[in-house]
Amino acid sequence: MRCTGDARENQAAAEEGIRAAAKRGAKVVCLPELYRSLYFCQSEDHANFALAEPIPGPSTNALGALAKKLKVAIVGSLFERRAAGIYHNTAVVLDADGCHVGTYRKMHIPDDPLYYEKFYFTPGDLGFQAFDTKHGRIGTLICWDQWYPEAARLTALRGPTVLFYPTAIGWHPSEKKEWGESQISAWQTIQRSHAIANGVYVAAVNRVGHEGARTAGIEFFGASFICDPYGRILAEASRNRPAVLVAEVDPRTVETARQHWPFLRDRRIDAYGPITERSLEKR
């Protein structure tokens, strides 16, 4: 998606995309991270808390009604107002009957130049989860989570066929020439590796377009993609235009991949205790 500062425009664009995906046969549809607004985390501004909404609330109601009408499951990414002073970056799952069947709160919260999310979001407290929908079992993670093998593994262990990553990632314009290609390559590589290591499909859903100051800001690089359990990219979007990607997900492929590459079978769960330490480097 290309997002604007008008929540109604963004909701309309999202719904148009969902309808287009359903028309092409999609049964589960995922929207980008925080699709209802511009990416407001480029600055620390208390006024932006007015963008938050409760769950259930207006967006879940609208997405649920559309899910029921189209008989699809929808993953939506929202700025959740949980209580006064407690806000989350949250993914919701609306099933094909319109019911809200899942909530995931982003666990890894970045604090980097123009990605000042720690100012806005409380870290998730619901753990890593998967949700049953009419069309299959899915896992949801969000953006910065996509760099963490632990997050993908713990979600995959709950049995989803697909890991969905609603995302808002882009270039700092001053870095694009030198680092742009390597950044996109790293972004795709880490997620394709999650698919391979866990024997699941992965769908990464980004936004496009420049947001923020003309000579600074963020240029969101799109390149949304869907890959299979072997890391093969099944569909990939443009870097600068909105798009609807549709690919077939076959649970039998997950079964076959895990039979031939039994990474989950051969895990040494008796030896992984130190993973909970911040560092094991000796001083």
Convert the pLDDT of each residue in 128-174 to its tens digit: 999 999 999 999 999 999 999 999 999 999 999 999 999 999 999 99
Convert the pLDDT of each residue in 46-85 to its tens digit: 999 999 999 999 999 999 999 999 999 999 999 999 999 9
* 143 carries an active-site annotation: yes
Convert the pLDDT of each residue in 10-37 to its tens digit: 999 999 999 999 999 999 999 999 999 9
* 41 carries an active-site annotation: no
What is the value of pTM for the model shown? Answer: 0.96
Of 71, 19, 42, the C-alpha closest to 173 is 42
- pLDDT at residue 251 is higher than 70: yes
Could you give the domains of the chain? 7-267 (3.60.110.10)
The answer to whether residues 89 and 166 touch, using CB atoms and an 8 Å cutoff, is no
Of 2, 13, 25, the C-alpha closest to 224 is 2
How many other CB atoms are found less than 10 A from the CB of residue 270? 6
CA distance 125 to 153: 17
* 134 carries an active-site annotation: no
Residue among 3, 27, 30, 33 flagged as catalytic: 33
Residue among 41, 106, 117, 211 flagged as catalytic: 106
Residue among 3, 143, 219, 227 flagged as catalytic: 143
Return the structure tokens found at 219: 């240029």
How many other CB atoms are found less than 10 A from the CB of residue 223? 20
Sheet holding 100-105, edge to edge: 28-30, 73-83, 86-94, 100-105
* Length in residues, the chain: 283
Of 63, 97, 98, 67, the C-alpha closest to 77 is 63
Convert the pLDDT of each residue in 109-137 to its tens digit: 999 999 999 999 999 999 999 999 999 99
